[in-house]
Structure 1
Amino acid sequence: MEKQESTAGMKASNFVLENKGKLKEFYKIGKLIGSGAFGDVRICLHKESNSQRAVKILYKANMTEEDEKMLLNEIDILKDLDHPNIVKMYEFFQDEKRYYIITEICKGGELFDEIIDKGHFSEQDASVIMKQLLSCLNYCHSRNIVHRDIKPENILMESNKDFNQIKVIDFGISVVKEPDQMINESIGTPYYIAPEVWLKNYDEKCDVWSAGVIMYILLSGTPPFNAASDAEMKTKILEGTFSMEGKVWDEVSDDAKDLITQLLTLETDKRISAGDALSHPWIAEHCDPEFDSKLAKNALFNLSKFRAEEKIKQATIAYIASQLLSKKEKESLSSVFKAFDTNGDGMLSKEEIKNGYEKVFGYSINEEQITAMFKAVDLDGSGYLDYSEFVVATMNEKNLFSEKKLKAAFKMFDKDDSGYISGDEVKESLIRIQKFSDDEINEIIGQVDENGDGEISFEEFKIIMTKMNE
């Protein structure tokens, strides 16, 4: 069953926007960490949160009209994605000469380089990588997004080389399609292109084929289809025959070989989906999710106490989730999120939260309790807890609403930097989420404006934000 995000309510992605200011007002630019045909990638420091990020600097003079179209397509898709294994985009800038795309930073290099260094992977390590990749694809496919360029070069590692923290990048040639629509454009990287892509008649299962190629390479160190030219490569892929014979394959389990075969099935209607692949015995056997029991207990305790009835508080939390959480803050809770996300779709259902309680505390919660919890935490009204919703609702309150974060969030509303938030400023900040009438704006102001002067001071703002458990 497909799960679509609600268009109403407060989403972290509402705050992933083009920043009309100058880049250097918000970021300190650091050393070069990569370069390509269109520009460079540098480390940058976000002044407001003091966190390191990456800035991709793209020179317009080096780009064709089609290149710019692809870039804007990537921005449009990436800003709405909220998954622990998809690189997060924070915002973007542009001036007369350049585009600047701000994303989270991954310092461990590409999975491709790790494959070159290691030769091939153990089944344990390979399964951890594949589970995350398949979860990412399942999440995208449930939103009708087809990546179309899944390959080891588009999977980044963290500096600690923890295989449980990979990030999928480069959504430049991704496409959003209707559920029954077929795509008729041949595009991608030859080694990883599915046969139906060569034939220009395909859907999201082309990504599943690419994942199968990656799994084959992880376990053997060589690609399933290899040739001296693209034409010869195309012929081999269209035939769809590959070998799992030889010394390296003698040590690979039958379950692993079975999953590769299902991923690399020529006929798409018989090829396994990303969602079904996640429940394959090979994944289940090797990927029993590990998490810190104390961290999980604290997370569920905070989740049960989370309250955000006021619209301005909901918007503030969404803004903090989108722009102000550090990588460390988010990823400290990612293991708990992944452990609870048993079907690997990148979201938590009521049933998965109930099962999480059972797993952590040895007892479950009733339907009334879970419904009340979701009403408080599910800020976008989708019926599921997104990654960012889960993180902000399970964080320690003092960290979530630290003085520094609250001042940054207040500044987001306080457009004229007067030290007070007016009704017009609230309206301007919330209009990106939904349209509010003047009466509704006055009601929102009234929820926070304790002295009734029609404006919100920082102290009034701070009181309503930290009134979590009342």
Structure 2
Amino acid sequence: MASFADLLAEHVSEGAVTDEFEVDVGRKLGTGGYANVYLGKRRSDGTPVAIKVMKQFRWTRPGAEELAVLREIGFMRKISELDTPHLLGALAAYGRIFDVQRLCIVTPLCAGGDLFERIAGMGRYTERTAAARFRDMMVGLQRLHEAGILHRDIKPENLLLSARGDDDAVSVIADFGLSDREDECGPESGRPASRQLVGTLAYNAPEHLGRHPVWSPAGDVWSAGVVLFIMLGGSPPFYVDHRMPKRSHDEALKRVIREGKFVFYPSLFGTVSDRAKDLISGMLHVDPARRLTVDQCLAHPWLADNDANPDVALDAGQRELRLFNAKRKLRAAALACRWGARSPVHSALKDLVGGTSFSEAHIKAIARAFNEAKAADAAAAGAAAGASAATAAGAGGTAPAPAGKASLSRMSELTADRSQFERVMESLGFGGLPLGRMWELFDTDESGSVDVREVVAGLATLRSGGEDALQLCFDVLDADGSGHLEREELAIALSALAGAGAASDGEDADEAAAHLAFAFEAMDVNKDGRISLEEFKAGIAADPSLVGRFLRPLDSLGGDSSRALRAVADAAASPKET
């Protein structure tokens, strides 16, 4: 296997991504535990791109994670050479953004976003639409296998749409972090197969789950078959009770997958054609030797003759798919925060503030967080303008922390704009919340900037517990100020906080996500897909552990979450005085 230095020299340019591409740091396309993705465009011709900026990457003393990232870039560069719109390759990779050392990966922009999200949001979703989208995916998989590459992680999270318009969009396979060459991991490679699970268990083929895993193109076909089952019926073919402890859950799920028994429930598949069911059955054959190949799938009548497929709306499957999307996004948010909470940056900032009240040291620490955000902007602006960071700071780009006693009155001199505020709050562990809404609530004087006093006041309200804290929690989550919470948005926000807590407590993120999923279902009493303040209060009163998860970040802010939990739970259970 190539060394870190060899892979770095081969795949990553020493220059800055900003030399060749404009990066719109105000347009964040996505965020996760390891990276942020921004909108960008090529300077030479204006071609829109997506630019992934890694949050953490050890340039010195690299480990297995760094090697895996460079291997992924290598696969993505190879995939770009295949010149197919159905695979998301890498246009380039750089070691710097402006003059800051950060690993940056540039890819084509998939403006259509998440494939399953688009399907769930369609006004009318039919088998013909599903077949067209799925055929794109299988063409991409065919090209990948022809190049001798196994994806090994086909699942909904890794499927995108190239464009927003339905007529122009094609399905795109993304994320090659677990990919490998067939001749290096397949049965003919001679290399012992790792017994460690690769990818996501629910999408793994039976031959991956034994003592001697076997990797081949047939494994990707199985995963694609699971995806197609969900596309048409809205739920996975293989599942067990998610309330089971993780180890028991995983072992039970492995047994179900090895058996390969699944059911086309009439309530979900009643309007799905027999041709579609036949294709799924062929892709989910337990014996890989008897499983359909990619070429056979593409030749199957359901994919080869889409005009003959029913033009009937898959209403039941689409409704189930919306719930499935909410649960998978919840799990993704929890996992992102679980990994993000392990980062050195998060660990260093975990104890920014402490105690039951803000001391002078704590306020200075918050001020430093403000300063760091402003200094980073000043350095970037200076680099972009060809000036040094020191010159930018001298021109007012950086506001130095007020010297002397760190009183709240002195802190009014230290302000942050919206972008800087969001970075400060992410550092404090609140990145899973709608920070745009939090900005509006904390900018109490509507000045267009937030100073340390306003941040301290907002956090102090959360720390105090009681009715005010409960109302603030609801208002923050109510991102559009509608007076109701969308269940999916609530799931993402609270699971992000739960994920960070799970990381520190040793709790598995899957278990945290499963607990929250059941809690949200119970919270929406009238099943209208929205949660009112009263439903929010009732849910917290009925399940104190939910609010415990919500308030857990207060421990890292020096507060007492157990005390705040009692106060907020009491407020939730008590009728509001009039």
Q: Which segments of 5 or more consecutive residues in structure 1 lack a partner in the other structure?
A: 1-15, 289-470
Q: Where in structure 2 are the equivalents of 1:260-409 lying within 5 Å? A: 260-286=280-306
Deviation at 1:107, TM superposition (A): 2.1
1:204 lines up with 2:204 in the alignment: no
SS of the residue corresponding to residue 271 of structure 1 reads coil
Q: Which residue of 1 aligns with 2:188?
A: 181
- Partner deviation per Cα, 1:335-368 (whole Å, 9 max, x = no partner): xxxxxxxxxxxxxxxxxxxxxxxxxxxxxxxxxx
Aligned with 1:221 (options 225, 234, 244): 234
C-alpha distance in structure 2 between counterparts of 1:120 and 1:176, whole Å: 39
CA 69–121 in structure 1, closer or farther in 2 if over 3 Å, else same? farther
C-alpha distance in structure 2 between counterparts of 1:143 and 1:267, whole Å: 24
CA 144–245 in structure 1, closer or farther in 2 if over 3 Å, else same? same
CA 212–287 in structure 1, closer or farther in 2 if over 3 Å, else same? farther
Contact 1:128 1:163 in 2 (8 A): no
C-alpha distance in structure 2 between counterparts of 1:119 and 1:51, whole Å: 31
Q: Which moved more, 1:256-265 or 1:69-78?
A: 69-78
Q: Which structure has the larger Rg over C-alpha atoms?
A: 2
Select the structure that is richer in helix.
2
Q: Where in structure 2 are the equivalents of 1:11-90 lying within 5 Å? A: 18-30=12-24, 31-61=27-57, 65-81=63-79, 82=82, 83-90=84-91
The residue identity in structure 2 corresponding to 1:38 is Y
Deviation at 1:97, TM superposition (A): 3.7
Deviation at 1:170, TM superposition (A): 0.3
Q: Which segments of 5 or more consecutive residues in structure 2 lack a partner in the other structure?
A: 1-9, 243-248, 309-578
1:144 lines up with 2:153 in the alignment: no
C-alpha distance in structure 2 between counterparts of 1:80 and 1:134, whole Å: 19
Q: Which residue of 2 aligns with 1:241?
A: 261
Deviation at 1:116, TM superposition (A): 4.4
Deviation at 1:53, TM superposition (A): 0.6
- Partner deviation per Cα, 1:31-81 (whole Å, 9 max, x = no partner): 211111112000112111111111000133479722211211111111122
C-alpha distance in structure 2 between counterparts of 1:58 and 1:106, whole Å: 19
State the TM-score, normalizing by the size of structure 1.
0.54
Contact 2:52 2:106 in 1 (8 A): yes
SS of the residue corresponding to residue 113 of structure 2 reads coil
State the TM-score, normalizing by the size of structure 2.
0.45
C-alpha distance in structure 2 between counterparts of 1:192 and 1:163, whole Å: 29
Q: Which residue of 1 aligns with 2:204?
A: 193
1:108 lines up with 2:118 in the alignment: no
Q: Could you list the structure 1 runs, at least 4 aligned residues long, displaced by more than 4 angstroms after superposition.
A: 61-64, 118-121, 161-164
Contact 1:132 1:164 in 2 (8 A): no
SS of the residue corresponding to residue 75 of structure 1 reads helix
C-alpha distance in structure 1 between counterparts of 2:168 and 2:253, whole Å: 30
Aligned with 1:258 (options 262, 278, 287): 278
1:169 lines up with 2:156 in the alignment: no
Contact 1:18 1:91 in 2 (8 A): yes
Q: What number of residue pairs does the alignment pair up? A: 273
Contact 1:213 1:264 in 2 (8 A): yes
C-alpha distance in structure 2 between counterparts of 1:115 and 1:45, whole Å: 28
Deviation at 1:121, TM superposition (A): 4.3
Contact 1:120 1:217 in 2 (8 A): no
Contact 1:38 1:62 in 2 (8 A): no
Contact 2:187 2:214 in 1 (8 A): no
SS of the residue corresponding to residue 48 of structure 2 reads strand
Deviation at 1:192, TM superposition (A): 1.0
Identity of aligned residues (%): 29
CA 273–22 in structure 1, closer or farther in 2 if over 3 Å, else same? same
CA 148–19 in structure 1, closer or farther in 2 if over 3 Å, else same? same
Deviation at 1:28, TM superposition (A): 1.5
Contact 1:37 1:62 in 2 (8 A): no
- Partner deviation per Cα, 1:205-250 (whole Å, 9 max, x = no partner): 1100011011111111111011223222212111100001313322
SS of the residue corresponding to residue 40 of structure 1 reads strand
RMSD across aligned positions (CA): 2.4
1:93 lines up with 2:102 in the alignment: no
Deviation at 1:104, TM superposition (A): 0.5
Contact 2:140 2:172 in 1 (8 A): no
C-alpha distance in structure 2 between counterparts of 1:264 and 1:202, whole Å: 16
SS of the residue corresponding to residue 89 of structure 1 reads coil
Deviation at 1:258, TM superposition (A): 0.7
Q: Which residue of 1 aligns with 2:453?
A: none
Q: Which residue of 1 aligns with 2:537?
A: none
SS of the residue corresponding to residue 215 of structure 2 reads coil
- Partner deviation per Cα, 1:147-204 (whole Å, 9 max, x = no partner): 0010111011222245851111100110002275267233011221111111222312
